[in-house]
Amino acid sequence: MAFLEIKNFQKFFDKNTVLHDISFSIEKGEVLAIIGSSGSGKTTLLRCMNFLTLPDSGKMYVNGEKILDAETTGHLSEGELRESRLHFGLVFQQFNLFPQYTVLGNLLLAPNLYLKEVVAKLPKEERSRRLTEGTAELESKANALLTRVGLSNRAGAYPCELSGGQKQRVAIARALMMSPDILCFDEPTSALDPELTGEVLSVIRGLKSSDSTMVVVTHEMEFARNVADKVIFMANGIIEEMGTPEEIFNHPKSGLLKAFLSKALD
Amino acid sequence: MSFWEVTQELFRGFGVTLELFILTLVLALPLGLLFALGSRSRLRPLRFLVRGFVYIIRGTPLMLQLLVVTLGPGILFGTQHALTRWKCFNGNANLAYFCGALLAFVINYACYFSEIYRGGIDNIPKGQWEAGQVLGMKKSQIFFRIILLQVVKSILAPISNETVTLVKDTSLARTVSVVEVIYAADRITGHYALIWPLFYTGAFYLVFNFLVTWCFTTAEKRLSRFRLE
Ligand SMILES: Nc1ncnc2c1ncn2[C@@H]1O[C@H](COP(=O)(O)OP(=O)(O)O)[C@@H](O)[C@H]1O
Ligand SMILES: [Mg+2]
């Protein structure tokens, strides 16, 4: 049983078909890179996985559990939707840090609110103890993550005081705070100056481990080739070709992929 | 009447001006936010209702609204000065007129504020909402914890302008028998044939608007610790 399985995703905007019957699966700990020219539906796919928009048809399973079924998801309550959504994390091209919070505040905002809700469901006498413990745990987790992305000395800075590369590293740490099963990246380096992409890519590479599963939409072919376990090439809303980096980059079959690669690599 | 006596009398009037100003602000700011949320609601009837109401209020003079609120009940229910007959006022005409004026001011300013809020909310990048959503936050949490302060920062200047205008607009309340500072001066002018107390009221407005502007500048400084994306 695959860790993440997507079956027959379709998405229409008005009469445009943006996703045509997308199906794929990945195993736990794998890194999937999605490449393809702009407009091919990569962002839409990630947004569907993160419940920012719902596919018009299709199903999605995480660890065998069905967490999205286009037939029924429209009827889910906000609470149920949130639970499903928390299987995923998403790092945006434009960072989307919260400008009025410090770096540490950005990391702690959502998990602290979530903790409060969890604690509110406990018996009365346990609440304050669990809240104190939970808050302390979150803080040490935040500090550990900041160290991991190399920003432990900027915990008190506001986003406007950071470089693009630093912002994106904060965004990665923020997404990791919710311990998603699958972390998605939508062109995490496309909004960065070329000299800053390296620091972000090396953080992402450093996250690769047996229990972190990642889906990375990227234009960085070297990164896809070296870090991904599996590569999907999308064109016009379909998976035109899928395979290992070796297969995709060294032995491309589809004409579209060959054309895309010769453009991307020169 | 001596300068000192006039000053005392004007301070009494200015107290009413202040009450009207502060209560209007305190009530219209949250009500305006409510209107703004209503005018962005997904429920079509609610959205149309709120937008229509805001459109009417913004398109007609505050003076007219004051008259409608204070005279309307009388015309509708057939008794002149009906406001004073309402139980809650206990026959206290001053209170009745004040509350009528307050109601008109609150509605009027809430509508102006709501348009400012609406623009402010619309201008916050969608990515801020989405970033909150993918972190598992609820819509209401995203609005109050992430969006609102950014909106406040981005609309401080227009809100400040409206507030300064409100300070001056309170003088319209005299048309519905509220003895605010200009009315107080006018009475002195009528009784003692003195013109200068009328001009003197200008000083009250100037000083007070100086304070109001200072408050907004301070708020702006405090919010300058961060920059909007
Ligand atoms: N909200 C939307 N409304 C209408 N069309 C959209 C919307 N979002 C994306 N599209 C269209 O879907 C197609 C795929 O877009 P996208 O998923 O952003 O591609 P990519 O990320 O691969 O560049 C594009 O043609 C785009 O115009
Ligand atoms: Mg895209």
Is A106 within the bounds of a domain?
no
Which CATH number covers residue B182?
1.10.3720.10
Structurally, chain A folds into a number of domains equal to 1
CB-based neighbours (< 5 A) of ligand 2, an ion: A 43
Q: Does A78 contact B at CB distance below 8 Å?
A: yes
Which of B189, B175, B198, B207 lies closest to B18, judged by CA?
Answer: B207
Tens digit of each residue's pLDDT (9 = 90 or more) over B162-203: 999 999 999 999 998 899 999 999 999 999 989 999 999 999
Structure tokens at A40: 């091919």
Mutate to test the pocket of ligand 1, among A18, A22, A186, A239 (most ligand atoms within 8 A of CB): A18
Structurally, chain B folds into a number of domains equal to 1
Handedness of CA B178, B179, B180, B186 (dihedral sign): positive
Determine whether A219 is exposed, middle or buried from the number of CB atoms within 10 Å of its CB (0-12, 13-18, 19+). Answer: middle
Given A50, A113, A175, which is nearest B141 (Cβ)? Answer: A113
Is A120 within the bounds of a domain?
no
The amino acid at B227: R
**pLDDT in the model for residue B156:** 96
Is B106 within the bounds of a domain?
yes
**pLDDT in the model for residue B177:** 87
Please list the helix, strand and coil fractions of chain A in percent, rounded to the nearest 5, in that order: 45, 25, 30
Size of interface A-B (CB pairs under 8 A): 73
CA distance A4 to A258: 28
Judge whether A73 and A67 are in contact, CB under 8 Å: no
ipTM here: 0.94
Q: Is A187 helix (H, G, I), strand (E, B) or coil?
A: coil
CA distance B199 to B186: 10
Is A111 within the bounds of a domain?
no
- For ligand 2, the distance from its centroid to the CA atom of residue A90, given in whole angstroms, is 13
CA distance A142 to A152: 9
Which of A214, A211, A210 lies closest to A201, judged by CA?
Answer: A214
Q: Which regions of chain B are under pLDDT 70?
A: 78-85
Helix axes B44-59, B3-39, angle to 10 degrees: 150
Is B72 within the bounds of a domain?
yes
Is B12 within the bounds of a domain?
yes
Is B195 within the bounds of a domain?
yes
Which CATH number covers residue A260?
3.40.50.300
- For ligand 1, the distance from its centroid to the CA atom of residue A41, given in whole angstroms, is 6
What range does the domain containing A79 cover?
A: 4-97+164-265
Mean pLDDT per 10-residue interval, chain A, length 266 residues: 93 92 95 95 96 93 91 77 91 97 98 95 92 96 96 96 96 97 96 93 90 93 94 96 96 94 83
- Ligand at shortest distance from the CA of A186: 2
Main-chain dihedrals φ then ψ at residue A10, nearest 5 degrees: -130, 140
Is B176 within the bounds of a domain?
yes
**pLDDT in the model for residue B79:** 62
At which residue do the structure tokens 């703004």 appear?
B36
Kindly report the nearest CA distance between residue B137 and chain A, in angstroms.
Answer: 6
CA distance A151 to A97: 15
Is B94 within the bounds of a domain?
yes
Q: Is A138 helix (H, G, I), strand (E, B) or coil?
A: helix
The amino acid at B85: R
Is A12 within the bounds of a domain?
yes
Query: Are B135 and A175 within 8 A, CB to CB?
Result: yes
Query: Are A78 and B139 within 8 A, CB to CB?
Result: yes
Question: A35 in ligand 1 pocket by Cβ < 6 Å?
Answer: no
Q: How many Cα atoms sit within 13 Å of B194 on the Cβ side?
A: 17
**pLDDT in the model for residue B225:** 92
Is A123 within the bounds of a domain?
no
**pLDDT in the model for residue B70:** 83
What would the DSSP string read from start to end of A85-152?
Answer: HTTEEEE-TT----TTS-HHHHHHHHHHHHHHHHHHTS-HHHHHHHHHHHHHHHHHHHHHHHHHTT-G
Is B17 within the bounds of a domain?
yes
Is A114 within the bounds of a domain?
no
**pLDDT in the model for residue A216:** 97
Per-position b or e across B117-143, b if 16+ CB within 10 A of its CB: bbebbeebeeebbbbbbbbbbbeebbb
Mutate to test the pocket of ligand 1, among A17, A43, A233, A236 (most ligand atoms within 8 A of CB): A43
**pLDDT in the model for residue A209:** 82
DSSP category for residue A209: B
Is A257 within the bounds of a domain?
yes
Is A125 within the bounds of a domain?
no
Is B229 within the bounds of a domain?
no
Report the first-to-last Cα separation within chain A, whole angstroms. Answer: 39
What range does the domain containing B25 cover?
A: 3-223
| Cα distances (Å, whole numbers) of residue A239 to A26, A232, B96 | 14, 7, 72
DSSP category for residue A51: T
**pLDDT in the model for residue B85:** 67
* Non-local CB neighbours of B223 within 8 Å, separated by 6+ positions: B149, B152, B153, B156
